[in-house]
Structure 1
Amino acid sequence: MKFAKELEQTLADDEIPEEWVEAAIQYKALKKCIGRVVKELNYVGLERNTLKLLLENIEINEKDTTASNPIVAKYVLKKSKIHNEIVPSLKIVVDYNEELTDDYINESITMLKKKLENIVVGTTSDSENNEEFLSIDQQLNSTHLGDHDDASTIKSFESDKTDKSKDRAERETALSPRTTIEQIPGFPKKYTITIKLRSDAKFFHMLNEELLVLDQLRNKEEERLIKDIQIVSNTMNELSTKESLKKGDMYKWRELFRMFIDSEIYFKTNNTEVKTFQNSSDSVEKRLEQFKENVNKTKILTTFKNKKSLNTFQEFLYINERLLRVLKFQSINSKALTKILKKFDKQTSLNVKMKVPNLITPDHIFMNGSSISKTICSIIQTNILTVIPQLDDYLCPICADIAYKPIRLSCNHVFCVRCMVKHMQANHDECPLCKKSKAVEEADSSNIDVDLALKMVKFFPKETKAKLKERQKERYNEFANTDSKCIIT
């Protein structure tokens, strides 16, 4: 399938909003613009194979792997300081042999300059004029209208002649590049011809304008997603104060969020290198669908005690589906950019597909695929997922159980009080994690993190109750197996 058709079908999806379709990269229009670039290059005698020879080292002899032709041309892309648009120019170096006389060089440069000036003003060769005049004369001589031959007939042909000349001049003006010829300082017989095409400048201007529209769309969608996340966050905080959440919905929410985190929908972690990698839009779609299937299999949604919990989860899913659509839209437009630059190179040999992305990416946030994913995922993590905390974030590193009655050492590491007592009884006074000296020995009742303890009781009532029961059982066993009246508290 040709990409133009693929792009058209993607944008025809019912889930793609109309304003997105209008903002998408106009692939077909850019293709037509490339056609005009090719015409303009051909007009000045720089067709694709000629440019390839001027811009690259070509192996003329298949047996000889060493390219023999010198690179005498360079396609330069610069960014304007005002609008950050790409300003293209083609520079060709003409190096005359030193044995040639100055008169010959001057004559050659004069002829070349005159030719380029003729192109700029849109003049044509005498042979082209003669052919056109001959065609008109033949029409006049072959026209016999009997008694109706009069001056009006001649006038109509003269009018046609004028219109054709005018059309030809307009076409040639549109194809006429701007050129300058400069002597290279220090090299009296070396010159640089700078050709600024009209059509490629229009191509990059059009591309920049379309990317600006996509930037605006991206910002608008990010603001909308952040607003939706805040609404869900407010509802989640409201639900966390409800008695129904404490009685069971909270554990259902925790399980849903655990499944969401484990699905690694947007970013995949490499456990061996502890690095994260952004998933492609196709991978995001598959992982999101798998997450929804897993949720349905558990039938958690049917057991919510508070109906508002179900509606809030649906809103949470909608945020993720909306973000997925943005990523898919981003992906197809990024592909369109790659394809159109590849086509530009294929038809002109100007080699822009590697240069342009490096120039435009810093200015156009829409093309930075990871940006919106990182932003939205970070906000989801901060504003939604942490409302119902995961047990893994509240475990004691020693017993791997909830850090009931948490002790925060001076090094800021947290352990349950019982593990710290045992640690001291084993004659260890350093932090078990960072080995800070006397961190345990210096700890007292003031090191108990009261706020964290209250949070554990609120969000992990079953775990704290089980830990307390286990602690009491352990205390009983210690009391039964020792003659000492002193027991661990």
Structure 2
Amino acid sequence: MKFGKTIETSAKELPEEWQPYLIQYNSLKKNIKGIVEELEDTFRTLNLPLPLGETDSGEQSAYDVNHGNRSMDTCTDLETMTTTGMQLPEVVAYNIEKDSDGLVHPVIIVKIRRQPSNRRERIIELPDIAGLPKNTSIMLPSLANTDDSGSAESPAIENSSELEVDATQASAMPMPRFVDSTGDDDVFNPGAPLDTPAGGNVLLESRFVEGAEETQVTVRLQSDRMFFVQLINYIERTRTFEQAYTQQYSSNVNSLGSELTFVTSPFKHDFQIWREIFRLYMDADVWSHAEGDLRPTNTAKEGQDRFSKFTQHIETIGLAGQFRDPLSAKLLVSFYKLNSELTYMKLLQEMNELATRKIIKKHDKRTHLIAKTQFPQLISFDTTTLTRALIYTVYTELVGVVPQINDYMCPMCLNIAWRPLRLECSHVFCSRCVVKASRCRMFNCPVCRSKDAIYRAGVTNVDQALLNFLKLYFPKEVKERQRDIQQEITEEETGIIKSMQSRGKPCIIM
């Protein structure tokens, strides 16, 4: 399926009010045809071969000898250029410039170098040939017989140059001027700019470098400029929509977070249900990778598939049906909606990025003007920063409202850090693990290796605020941890008694 059809099919997945902010690929594709026509007409009028774009080495130095329907004529022109001392165009450059007003101006620069000669040249104004019959031949006097005083001898017929001009183009385009150079090196003589029939312009400039004449032809195509103006307008319009949407999305997230704070109070029945929902949401890695760095997933479809599996799992285990507060059910629907909008935003950005890359590639292929390396420097097209900011907002304002037990684990036993001891290096461990580490003569912090951090820890290091927090938000886990610790202490004491009995020593208590 062609990309134009693909993007039309994918656009149907977006809400109807989002579809106008897609880059109109088919419209831009039609404009490329006009660029090709203007490019061929301009280069044909200037008797220049068309550029072939990048060579194997990546340089824009190839030329199309057989462009249009004038393959034989062009070959003749090139042969004439060679026999008269004029070489093939040496350099062709395609630059996309940006002025102070932010407008882009694509420029094609062709340099032609004439072999050194002793001939002196003078300005020859071509007559106005408008109205003459088509393909009228004009005899130009040769410049080879000019003496040192600047006067030209009577030209001979055999030394004349014949310029064949299409009179149908003459009325729409002024004739060029041949620039008279004094013969001094590095003398720069600009010619008059020429307007192309499509609204662009051509500037011919000549100068002498090391005794050889170098002519620079600067071509500005109107259709090419309008192509990039239209593409940038699409991108800027989408960016404006994204900025407005981001503000609205953040406002909706903050509003939902405020309501969640009420229903997720530790004194509410729905608190435990919401904590389980958000735990499953984190485990599903809907919008982040397993590393937990909140990097957006590769595609919008991948995120959508993960979110669908998450919602199906919630329905399967029946968590939504356990809510007692009707507001919780409504907030869960709003949470689903925010995640769906994230999918739409990611899809919109992916489609616009792909459409931009495809249309630039099509432009370069059809026109042989390489813009793929320059256009990204003019306007940035970032599809990750905005999505990452929205994902971060969801995680901090919504998921972070309900504390998760994974954030309060002891690094040593990987259980809840009950009776937390905050060492002088600020790392937190449960008191039971600190006691065990001291018995094993592990006096440094196991995390940062702070010297004697465990050795100097005592009752004063108990984080009372964190202890109260754990009792409030994790009462079930705290009771289980207390029971495990007590059982572990009992087993240690029983083992000590048995070991003493095995050595024949009576129990000091009994």
What is the TM-score when the length of structure 1 is the normalising length? Answer: 0.76
Aligned pair partner of 1:126 in 132, 137, 142 = 132
Alignment-derived partner of residue 268 in structure 1 = 289
The secondary structure found in structure 1 opposite 2:205 is strand
Give the Cα–Cα distance (whole angstroms) in 2 for the partners of residues 442 and 186 of structure 1: 83
1:87 has 2:93 as partner: no
Alignment-derived partner of residue 324 in structure 2 = 305
1:225 has 2:244 as partner: no
Q: Decide whether the 8 Å contact of 1:409 with 1:447 is kept in 2.
A: yes
Q: Decide whether the 8 Å contact of 1:48 with 1:349 is kept in 2.
A: no
Aligned pair partner of 1:244 in 247, 268, 271 = 268
1:35 has 2:33 as partner: yes
Deviates more, 1:172-181 or 1:258-267: 172-181
Alignment map for 1:22-101 (pairs within 5 Å): 22-45=20-43, 50-52=50-52, 55-57=60-62, 72-83=91-102, 85-98=103-116, 100-101=117-118
1:3 has 2:8 as partner: no
Give the Cα–Cα distance (whole angstroms) in 2 for the partners of residues 254 and 184 of structure 1: 79
The one-letter code matched in structure 2 to 1:40 is E
Alignment map for 1:414-429 (pairs within 5 Å): 414-429=428-443
Alignment-derived partner of residue 174 in structure 1 = 198
Following TM superposition, by how much is the alpha carbon of 1:413 offset from its aligned partner in structure 2, in angstroms?
A: 1.1
Alignment-derived partner of residue 325 in structure 1 = 344
Alignment-derived partner of residue 85 in structure 2 = none
Following TM superposition, by how much is the alpha carbon of 1:333 offset from its aligned partner in structure 2, in angstroms?
A: 1.5
The one-letter code matched in structure 1 to 2:444 is E
Following TM superposition, by how much is the alpha carbon of 1:283 offset from its aligned partner in structure 2, in angstroms?
A: 1.4
Q: Which runs of 5+ in 2 are unaligned?
A: 55-59, 66-87, 137-167, 174-194, 501-510
Alignment map for 1:338-487 (pairs within 5 Å): 338-361=357-380, 367-478=381-492
Following TM superposition, by how much is the alpha carbon of 1:376 offset from its aligned partner in structure 2, in angstroms?
A: 1.0
Residue 387 to residue 345, structure 1, CA distance change in 2 (3 Å): same
Cα deviation code 1:329-354 (max 9, x no counterpart): 11111121112112211210102123
Q: Decide whether the 8 Å contact of 1:43 with 1:175 is kept in 2.
A: no
Residue 58 to residue 169, structure 1, CA distance change in 2 (3 Å): closer
The one-letter code matched in structure 1 to 2:436 is K
Give the fraction of aligned pairs with identical amino acids, expressed as a percent: 24
The one-letter code matched in structure 2 to 1:439 is A
Following TM superposition, by how much is the alpha carbon of 1:214 offset from its aligned partner in structure 2, in angstroms?
A: 0.7
The one-letter code matched in structure 1 to 2:10 is T
The secondary structure found in structure 2 opposite 1:397 is coil
Aligned pair partner of 2:19 in 18, 21, 29 = 21
Moved over 6 A (4+): 184-187
Following TM superposition, by how much is the alpha carbon of 1:447 offset from its aligned partner in structure 2, in angstroms?
A: 2.1
Give the Cα–Cα distance (whole angstroms) in 2 for the partners of residues 125 and 73 of structure 1: 34
Give the Cα–Cα distance (whole angstroms) in 2 for the partners of residues 312 and 40 of structure 1: 58
Which has the larger share of helix? 1
Q: Decide whether the 8 Å contact of 2:416 with 2:477 is kept in 1.
A: yes
Q: Decide whether the 8 Å contact of 1:244 with 1:306 is kept in 2.
A: no
Give the Cα–Cα distance (whole angstroms) in 2 for the partners of residues 349 and 237 of structure 1: 59
The secondary structure found in structure 2 opposite 1:93 is strand
RMSD across aligned positions (CA): 3.4
Residue 114 to residue 437, structure 1, CA distance change in 2 (3 Å): farther
Give the Cα–Cα distance (whole angstroms) in 2 for the partners of residues 79 and 338 of structure 1: 20
Alignment-derived partner of residue 216 in structure 1 = 240
Following TM superposition, by how much is the alpha carbon of 1:52 offset from its aligned partner in structure 2, in angstroms?
A: 0.4
The secondary structure found in structure 1 opposite 2:93 is strand
Q: Decide whether the 8 Å contact of 1:269 with 1:276 is kept in 2.
A: no
Cα deviation code 1:122-179 (max 9, x no counterpart): x86834499xxxxxxxxxxxxxxxxxxxxxxxxxxxxxxxxxx99x849963354242
The secondary structure found in structure 2 opposite 1:192 is strand
Q: Decide whether the 8 Å contact of 2:40 with 2:50 is kept in 1.
A: no
The one-letter code matched in structure 2 to 1:56 is S
Residue 380 to residue 284, structure 1, CA distance change in 2 (3 Å): same
Q: Decide whether the 8 Å contact of 2:51 with 2:64 is kept in 1.
A: no
Following TM superposition, by how much is the alpha carbon of 1:95 offset from its aligned partner in structure 2, in angstroms?
A: 1.3
| Aligned positions, number | 417
Following TM superposition, by how much is the alpha carbon of 1:198 offset from its aligned partner in structure 2, in angstroms?
A: 1.3
The secondary structure found in structure 1 opposite 2:414 is coil
Following TM superposition, by how much is the alpha carbon of 1:42 offset from its aligned partner in structure 2, in angstroms?
A: 1.2
Cα deviation code 1:182-236 (max 9, x no counterpart): 5376675223221111111111111111211111101111112111111121112
What is the TM-score when the length of structure 2 is the normalising length? Answer: 0.73
The secondary structure found in structure 2 opposite 1:422 is helix
Give the Cα–Cα distance (whole angstroms) in 2 for the partners of residues 125 and 8 of structure 1: 50
The secondary structure found in structure 1 opposite 2:110 is strand
1:316 has 2:335 as partner: yes
Which of the two has higher C-alpha Rg? 2
Alignment-derived partner of residue 140 in structure 1 = none
Alignment-derived partner of residue 257 in structure 1 = 278
Q: Decide whether the 8 Å contact of 2:260 with 2:401 is kept in 1.
A: yes
Give the Cα–Cα distance (whole angstroms) in 2 for the partners of residues 282 and 95 of structure 1: 55
Alignment-derived partner of residue 63 in structure 1 = none
Aligned pair partner of 1:294 in 306, 313, 316 = 313
